[in-house]
Amino acid sequence: MAEREDKNNYRNPSQDVFKGLWEAKVVIAIAFIAVFVRLSHTNEQPTTVPTAQVITTSEVANYPDELIGKTVAVRSRPLQRVGLSSFTVSDRRFFGGEPILVVNASGRPFDLPSDRENIIQVTGEVRNLAIAQIERQYNLSLQDQYYRDYINKPVIIARDIRLAPDSTAITLR
């Protein structure tokens, strides 16, 4: 009888190894599923920038009728802040370039770089500045006194603002 109990308690070492591997596969599969689910839900907002025609600020200033309503991307130097949610950009380093107003409608604050030599990329729709209409459409509060010089001029309503990728390769006039 003692011999029979020994046979029932005997385990094959290869069965233990296979059982351990099976359990490891299950744990690894669960970990992969958890990582996949986490990665697919980390960003609420899309990180891709809308496809846009890359142009210069001079083109916005000189050909506004052709660009109104179109989404464009501009790589330029920031000039100065205008109000709480806007700033100007220009691709002309010295005299002659008319600055273009950029209204930040991205929903994320953007601090102008302290080094004005840094190039930023702005992607958004070209529009004529109509303060009341833009405030309603984008839920913004623009202070009229800062925007008097830009009324009925082309502006970019920015949906994405960032430091320009590989800005060292960009040479602006």
Q: What is the pLDDT of residue 168?
A: 44
59 and 99, same domain (yes or no): yes
pLDDT of residue 70: 93
- Is 134 inside a domain boundary? yes
Cα 21 to Cα 4: distance, rounded to the nearest angstrom:
29
Residues 14, 89, single domain; the answer is no
pLDDT of residue 170: 42
Mean pLDDT by 10 residues, the chain (173 residues): 56 67 76 72 47 84 92 92 91 72 92 86 93 90 88 93 68 44
Residue 169, pLDDT score: 41
Domain that residue 120 falls in: 53-166
CA distance 119 to 99: 15
Alpha helices for the chain (secondary structure H): 2-9, 13-40, 57-62, 64-67, 131-138, 144-147
Shared domain check, 71 and 11:
no
Task: For residue 132, give the CATH number of its domain.
Answer: 2.40.50.140
CA nearest 127: which of 152, 110, 145?
Answer: 152
Does residue 93 fall inside a structural domain? yes
CA distance 62 to 152: 14
**Residues 27 and 63 grouped into a single domain:** no
Q: What is the pTM of this model?
A: 0.65
Structurally, the chain folds into a number of domains equal to 2
Give the per-residue pLDDT at 7.
55
Q: Are residues 106 and 155 in the same domain?
A: yes
User: Is residue 172 one of the residues assigned to a domain?
Assistant: no
Q: How many angstroms separate the CA atoms of 106 and 157, rounded? A: 9
Cβ-contact 90, 77 below 8 angstroms: yes
